[in-house]
Amino acid sequence: MKGRDMSKNTVKVGIIGSTGYAGAEIARLLLGHRDVEIKWLVSRSFCGQNYEDIFRNLFEVIEKECTDISLSDMAGDVDVIFTATPQGYLQGELKADVLDKCRIIDMSADYRIKDVKIYEKWYGIEHHSPELLKESVYGLTEVNRDKIKDARLLANPGCFTTCSILTAYPLMKEHMIEKDSLVINALSGVSGAGRGAKVANLFCEVNESAKAYGVTTHRHTPEIEEQLGYAYGENVVLQFTPHLIPMHRGILATETARMAGKYTYEEIKAVYDRYYKDERFIRVLKKDMCPETRFVEGSNYTDVNFKIDERTGNIIMMGALDNLEKGAASQAVQNFNVMFGFDEAEGIDMIPMVP
Amino acid sequence: MKGRDMSKNTVKVGIIGSTGYAGAEIARLLLGHRDVEIKWLVSRSFCGQNYEDIFRNLFEVIEKECTDISLSDMAGDVDVIFTATPQGYLQGELKADVLDKCRIIDMSADYRIKDVKIYEKWYGIEHHSPELLKESVYGLTEVNRDKIKDARLLANPGCFTTCSILTAYPLMKEHMIEKDSLVINALSGVSGAGRGAKVANLFCEVNESAKAYGVTTHRHTPEIEEQLGYAYGENVVLQFTPHLIPMHRGILATETARMAGKYTYEEIKAVYDRYYKDERFIRVLKKDMCPETRFVEGSNYTDVNFKIDERTGNIIMMGALDNLEKGAASQAVQNFNVMFGFDEAEGIDMIPMVP
Amino acid sequence: MKGRDMSKNTVKVGIIGSTGYAGAEIARLLLGHRDVEIKWLVSRSFCGQNYEDIFRNLFEVIEKECTDISLSDMAGDVDVIFTATPQGYLQGELKADVLDKCRIIDMSADYRIKDVKIYEKWYGIEHHSPELLKESVYGLTEVNRDKIKDARLLANPGCFTTCSILTAYPLMKEHMIEKDSLVINALSGVSGAGRGAKVANLFCEVNESAKAYGVTTHRHTPEIEEQLGYAYGENVVLQFTPHLIPMHRGILATETARMAGKYTYEEIKAVYDRYYKDERFIRVLKKDMCPETRFVEGSNYTDVNFKIDERTGNIIMMGALDNLEKGAASQAVQNFNVMFGFDEAEGIDMIPMVP
Amino acid sequence: MKGRDMSKNTVKVGIIGSTGYAGAEIARLLLGHRDVEIKWLVSRSFCGQNYEDIFRNLFEVIEKECTDISLSDMAGDVDVIFTATPQGYLQGELKADVLDKCRIIDMSADYRIKDVKIYEKWYGIEHHSPELLKESVYGLTEVNRDKIKDARLLANPGCFTTCSILTAYPLMKEHMIEKDSLVINALSGVSGAGRGAKVANLFCEVNESAKAYGVTTHRHTPEIEEQLGYAYGENVVLQFTPHLIPMHRGILATETARMAGKYTYEEIKAVYDRYYKDERFIRVLKKDMCPETRFVEGSNYTDVNFKIDERTGNIIMMGALDNLEKGAASQAVQNFNVMFGFDEAEGIDMIPMVP
């Protein structure tokens, strides 16, 4: 191995679903973490292959084969398992005794939504371990930091949801926008669609085009509604419309809402600052600057800002993050850091790279 | 010249601003038109240069130098002038006597907005020929076809506006959506930003990123409001938020509105069909299909569709077009065809090319 | 159907492999051809589906289902069959009696290489109808026009090969370069890799990257060598290295060779002009202008040029074409036009669209 | 400032030309370096502006204004100056006494070429401080590490050159290829063209296209020839043809040469390994794997490999690096580390990010 000394690493980690984009990004980030040893890279499809042959950016950085060890077998051998697996996998496999042996950080939606009926309706699958929903913690770090510390089962938020929630959170919590007026239009890079071999995600099908998809039915809708409902203190109903655009990474959320009163720029700005100025990974931009995904790409940052339209009585809130980082892998590592007592920025302190 | 026989061409054309993207696209389309002779290609910056050296796609297709002839000098020598010029140019130059000599198809906003005060407020410039606003015709072909026939001064619509209006037009006209509830989020390819040498439009600044811009202040807002107001029969106020995404061409409009009553899919579809089924260049897609810009790229088509959300009471209307074609050049030629009595599809009957 | 009148169409056409990129482009071009009726769109994978639902650019342009009719059944019902099928398909299916009923334009390599041993070595498959190689005609239109007229079995050239051959052809034929010194480096857009669902061609695997592939083993090598060997009059051995770069369409060939003597720019230019100045679809650029793929995209053009390096004694020849057009579909239609007595440019007279 | 503690930083740095892509990347890398204090960010065009407003990826990461301090004024205040300036700037400004006060790492070509006549011929400008050429050290770290340690004036190599040289270096030095047979075709991402406002580098001019440029005249030619000449021990003449392709970052070099004898894969591999296996930032890939730029993007790695063609007697050598990193900024920091006694990987130990 060229240059990475792992001798002092202490927290033992397994990654299930390690050859998808999110799983691979978790692996890459943990390779830069001071106190982690990656013990298992699990992949059914690539079982027996060298990880560095699949992700050749890691050539000579990691020397490890993909295996197909089961969740329960791995549980006794590691301190934490990251599951970057399809919807339904974990809730079908997980038993309470696994959580006695190790902690789990799950990238799927299996334990994000507390109401099992809503999960089953929007995902169209039965939930096989609803009893675990009680103890799962929703891993939006900046909102749930205290609960995350002791979580055994961490439900890492979705990419659209992290961006959508953080962008509107302060004003929703302060009742400064009308709660059911929210229209969220969000743009996503293609990596959010995963690494599966589908015609729809071929370069020649996706490049030089844009489309809305999942209109009225996208599964991140109830997740956003639930969390913003907690913020507001009442149920929230909103319109969420995602779009696919030709770039690798990035979520941009544009959120239009009716203001609940007459507020000045300074008043709104003060609220955002109150919530976020001490947050290392959330940046409230200067007046009139619109978030751009390139300025957060490759980092754990979420950039947010807003613009009041006195003419219409609306406020337009905007947020940008990297869907594979704060929208998936780096937020998972951020939560990992909180759970295991590390500096919250350990291993995820990347400065966005431009261009 | 290889292969293009111009001997029988009859309508004489001049293009001012012929070296921008819209002007060049008008030239390219007219080269494929049966009865057009391009007499003048005007460009201040490229004066004296061969057009085929600037746009090398036209190498050996057209042999003509760029000149810097004035509007009034050209007027007597051609039947129609296309002005693909910056905002303010035409209203500063145009006098009524020019219109006695030739017709004008203007790509700028100078004669689109009937209320000169609104123009001056949103564009921040004084209007020097407001007396001509009376006779200018707004060139949204499908809506104003009859007036266009005799127009001497044709105000060709903007790209965002064409897409935004056509997408909502039938439901606004039929009062099936609440008139002031419209939230339009639109995405644009980079060619909409023009061919000027600006750092902001460099490949490395634009690629792999997305941003909103002109939030609450974009100049296409009053144009959309005015035209949809005509459709509704009353003033309309709406929220329009444009975004820049990394592709050459394409506008995608996602328009969310509150439904004015309970309507079924079939009822709404019937309305769209009533308005558009005989329109050659507007395609109402099949149920649940979302417009994608790649499927209209390079053509004069606008693809539209909608989705009802019974859960929220909203309807999401969607439209896609090519900003340089139906959003600029090919709609200009469509209007030209109407004005000069050609088949409306002459020269603009391109089938979109995928990929 | 909106706007396309097929009543007068006369030549009946079937397309096998109509849902790949090349097959779909042939269909799109033929829809713009004056005297063609598309009778059969064959696709095993999409059998029974509406063609306009698969290629939604053709929505309301063509109303036809994909079928799975066999080659021999179709033969009696059409005048010509385009086969845009995988290597080996046609040579395994085709019998001489099919050619008595209809003509075939084949996009694969099955009948391009006259020496069956070379075919079998480079393609690694057995040839099942080598007796038909005698009558197949290599469809490089500008070189073999006379033979193409009467061809029953037309072997349409590959994309890299068309570009590589046309770029070097005049100097090779005139013995102005050393025949075995040719180093061809070529770049290809991603559509050349086809429309199959492969991880390697996903947007996120291909975008923002470049690589060489098939180094020393690419199957277009013997095809280029054979044709340039005919031009030179002796066997030619050359080095061909293809690369994949992130764009939809385009082949750019950069060909370095040792000059066989001291020639001036004017002497070389005169040779290129002698071969190509009357060719409608080959453009020899002005001095010092390098071909760019964008200037031929969507057209049947091949742009070529060269630069002499007196310092090294080499000449660098350059060529650009659109791999799906002159490199596949539009050259197939060009050959179709020659075979059926149409104007050679009928249906393929597109002016490249920029941007 | 969020999260970066600079209190212990010790080496004081100034960057001239800090608002170009290379200068900004140096700044970004040094912000992650343990023992650096950035004292001056010099930019004539952006003088007085906040650096974080220009490069908003650095918002809340660095708080510093751009200034326009002169080279000699800055010399006494810092330990080292990075000059990311246009060709000719430094050789016109630099006097020997500046080097008595601080060390210089120059990103331009001003002190790369030892023969001033060759510099003046290829760059077309007069050299005003040729006396300093004697002491300048060519900063190809892996080749010149020992000389770099004590360098006062470090000439950081060009992007094409670093890639081209490292790819062929072992075989050239071992005389295993014919020295004058080398044909280098190289592809570059657009960031290599700089951040100036030029029409030619607009998204819509560059995207979806490829071209060769600087054919026979590119200024990196003599730099590659000089360095490979040192390796071989005699003058080397070669053919270098660069190409521009639509991606942000990356150089891919494909180098074809005649082998000087019959060598097996194992023999050649052993030579590459001998030169590079202990080099942290050069990776010799496994057999038959071709370098891809995405696998080195954002890192200081150079990936190299080769393929023997027994049929032609040629060898094809391939190399990939990130033009802004190993091709510019991170190699500059690597040299800085060598010059100031840091671990060579300090601040530049990034693992490439995919996708």
pLDDT in tens, A12-63: 999 999 999 999 999 999 999 999 999 999 999 999 999 999 999 999 999 9
Distance CA A49, CA D354 (A): 18
Q: C59 and B283 in contact by Cβ < 8 A?
A: yes
Say if residue B222 is exposed, middle or buried (CB neighbours under 10 Å; 0-12, 13-18, 19+): buried
Distance CA C107, CA C158 (A): 8
Q: Could you tell me which of A320, C32, C94, B246 has the C-alpha nearest to residue D207?
A: B246
Contact list, D213 vs chain C (CB under 8 Å): 290
pLDDT band at A177 (very low <50, low <70, confident <90, very high): very high
pLDDT in the model for residue C9: 54
Q: Which residue has the tokens 């170009």?
A: D20
Q: Mind giving me the DSSP string for D124-147?
A: -S--S-GGGGGT-EE--HHHHHHH
Distance CA A136, CA A115 (A): 12
pLDDT in the model for residue D216: 98
pLDDT in the model for residue B46: 96
pLDDT band at D4 (very low <50, low <70, confident <90, very high): very low
pLDDT in the model for residue C237: 98
- On the CB side of C205, how many CA atoms lie within 13 Å of its CA? 21
Tell me the Cα Rg of chain D.
20
**Average pLDDT, stretch B126-139?**
98
pLDDT band at D9 (very low <50, low <70, confident <90, very high): low
Distance CA B217, CA D247 (A): 32
Question: Peptide bond before D86: cis, by omega within 30 degrees of 0?
Answer: no
**Average pLDDT, stretch B304-309?**
98
pLDDT over 80 (residue C8): no
pLDDT over 50 (residue D7): no
Which structure tokens are listed for C82? 């385009």
Considering chain D, what is the average pLDDT of its residues?
96
What does each C-alpha distance from B346 to B34, B40, B335, C3 come to in angstroms?
A: 7, 21, 11, 11
Mutate to test the interface with B, among D25, D204, D244 (most CBs of B within 10 A): D204
Question: Peptide bond before B355: cis, by omega within 30 degrees of 0?
Answer: yes
From the CB of residue A317, how many other CB atoms can be counted at a distance below 10 Å?
27
CB D330, CB D22: distance < 8 Å? no
Q: D2 and A352 in contact by Cβ < 8 A?
A: no
Neighbours of chain C (3+ CB pairs under 8 A): A, B, D
Is D255 part of the contact surface with chain C (CB cutoff 8 Å)? Answer: no
The share of chain C scoring above pLDDT 90, in percent, equals 97
What does each C-alpha distance from D16 to A276, B105, D58 come to in angstroms?
A: 34, 50, 18
pLDDT in the model for residue A9: 53
Distance CA A339, CA A321 (A): 23
Contact list, B349 vs chain C (CB under 8 Å): 3
Distance CA D179, CA D162 (A): 18
Mutate to test the interface with B, among A184, A209, A236, A268 (most CBs of B within 10 A): A209
pLDDT over 60 (residue B6): no
Say if residue B63 is exposed, middle or buried (CB neighbours under 10 Å; 0-12, 13-18, 19+): exposed
pLDDT in the model for residue A299: 98
Q: Which residue has the tokens 């492969």?
A: C198
Q: Could you tell me which of C188, C294, C201 has the C-alpha nearest to residue C241?
A: C188
From the CB of residue B258, how many other CB atoms can be counted at a distance below 10 Å?
17
* Strands B153-155 and B183-188, sheet pairing: unpaired
pLDDT tens sequence across A147-168: 999 999 999 999 999 999 999 9
pLDDT over 90 (residue D176): yes
From the CB of residue B179, how many other CB atoms can be counted at a distance below 10 Å?
20
pLDDT tens sequence across A213-253: 999 999 999 999 999 999 999 999 999 999 999 999 999 99
pLDDT band at C1 (very low <50, low <70, confident <90, very high): very low
The share of chain C scoring above pLDDT 70, in percent, equals 97
pLDDT in the model for residue D217: 98
**Average pLDDT, stretch A314-333?**
98
pLDDT tens sequence across C171-203: 999 999 999 999 999 999 999 999 999 999 999
pLDDT tens sequence across C238-252: 999 999 999 999 999
**What's the gap in Å between the CA of B205 and the closest CA on chain A?**
7
With the C-alpha atoms ordered B10, B15, B18, B24, is the resulting torsion angle positive or negative? negative
Distance CA A135, CA A131 (A): 8
Amino acid at residue number A110? D
**Average pLDDT, stretch D170-181?**
98
Is B203 part of the contact surface with chain D (CB cutoff 8 Å)? Answer: yes
Distance CA C333, CA C326 (A): 9
What does each C-alpha distance from B157 to B136, B141, B193, B318, B344 come to in angstroms?
A: 12, 9, 16, 19, 17
Q: Which residue has the tokens 């990103």?
A: D107
Considering chain A, what is the average pLDDT of its residues?
96
pLDDT in the model for residue C4: 47
pLDDT over 50 (residue B289): yes
pLDDT band at A8 (very low <50, low <70, confident <90, very high): low
Q: Is A159 a catalytic residue?
A: yes
**Average pLDDT, stretch D72-99?**
96
pLDDT over 60 (residue A7): no
Is D343 part of the contact surface with chain A (CB cutoff 8 Å)? Answer: no
Domains of chain A (ranges plus CATH)? 11-156+327-340 (3.40.50.720), 160-321 (3.30.360.10)
Q: Which residue has the tokens 């989020």?
A: B185
| Residue B37 three-state SS | strand
The share of chain A scoring above pLDDT 70, in percent, equals 97
Say if residue C185 is exposed, middle or buried (CB neighbours under 10 Å; 0-12, 13-18, 19+): buried
Question: Would the pTM count as exceeding 0.90?
Answer: yes
pLDDT in the model for residue B35: 94
CB B133, CB B109: distance < 8 Å? no
pLDDT in the model for residue B7: 44
D3: left (phi over 0), alpha (psi -120 to 50) or beta: left
Q: Could you tell me which of A80, A122, A137, A112 has the C-alpha nearest to residue A342?
A: A80
Q: Mind giving me the DSSP string for B148-199?
A: HHT-SEEEPPPHHHHHHHHHHHHHHHTT-B-TT--EEEEEE-GGGG-SS--G
A298: left (phi over 0), alpha (psi -120 to 50) or beta: left
* Strands B80-83 and B11-16, sheet pairing: parallel
pLDDT band at B9 (very low <50, low <70, confident <90, very high): low
Distance CA D289, CA D279 (A): 19
The share of chain D scoring above pLDDT 90, in percent, equals 97
pLDDT in the model for residue B3: 45
Scored b (16 or more CB within 10 A) or e, D312-327 reads: bbbbbbbbbbbbbbbb
Is B250 part of the contact surface with chain A (CB cutoff 8 Å)? Answer: yes
Contact list, A208 vs chain D (CB under 8 Å): 208
pLDDT tens sequence across C77-92: 999 999 999 999 999 9
Is B278 part of the contact surface with chain C (CB cutoff 8 Å)? Answer: no
pLDDT tens sequence across C129-158: 999 999 999 999 999 999 999 999 999 999
Provide CB contacts within 8 A for C121, sequence distance 6+.
none
Distance CA B154, CA D154 (A): 63
Q: D308 and C216 in contact by Cβ < 8 A?
A: yes
pLDDT over 60 (residue B2): no
Q: D209 and C237 in contact by Cβ < 8 A?
A: no
pLDDT over 50 (residue D1): no
D40: left (phi over 0), alpha (psi -120 to 50) or beta: beta
**Average pLDDT, stretch D120-128?**
97
- Looking at residue C65, the DSSP 8-state letter turns out to be B
Chain C's closest residue to A20, CA to CA, is: C199
CB B333, CB B348: distance < 8 Å? yes
pLDDT over 90 (residue D3): no
pLDDT in the model for residue D137: 98
**Average pLDDT, stretch B323-331?**
98
pLDDT in the model for residue C3: 45
- On the CB side of A305, how many CA atoms lie within 13 Å of its CA? 15
Distance CA D12, CA D6 (A): 12
Scored b (16 or more CB within 10 A) or e, C307-333 reads: bbbeebbbbbbbbbbbbbbbbbbbbbb
pLDDT in the model for residue D298: 98
pLDDT in the model for residue B4: 47
Q: Sheet of A153-155: strands edge to edge?
A: A66-67, A36-42, A11-16, A80-83, A103-106, A153-155, A137-138
Q: A298 and D298 in contact by Cβ < 8 A?
A: yes
- On the CB side of B104, how many CA atoms lie within 13 Å of its CA? 30
Which structure tokens are listed for D116? 């001033």
Q: Could you tell me which of B137, B170, B147 has the C-alpha nearest to residue B272?
A: B170
Query: Which own/partner pairs from C147-152 qualify as long-range (CB within 8 Å, at least 24 positions apart)?
Result: C148/C335, C148/C338, C148/C339, C149/C338, C149/C339, C150/C339, C151/C103, C151/C335, C151/C339, C152/C99, C152/C103, C152/C104
**Angle between helix A265-276 and A159-173 (nearest 10):** 120
pLDDT over 80 (residue D203): yes
pLDDT in the model for residue B8: 53
Q: C247 and D209 in contact by Cβ < 8 A?
A: yes
Q: Mind giving me the DSSP string for C24-61?
A: HHHHHHHHT-TTEEEEEEE-STTTTSBHHHHSGGGTTT
Q: How many residues does chain D have?
A: 355
pLDDT in the model for residue A3: 45
pLDDT over 90 (residue D2): no
pLDDT over 90 (residue C285): yes
Mutate to test the interface with C, among D177, D187, D241 (most CBs of C within 10 A): D241
Backbone angles phi, psi at D288, to 5 degrees: 70, 5
pLDDT in the model for residue A6: 47
CB B319, CB B292: distance < 8 Å? no
Contact list, C32 vs chain B (CB under 8 Å): 351
pLDDT tens sequence across C100-110: 999 999 999 99
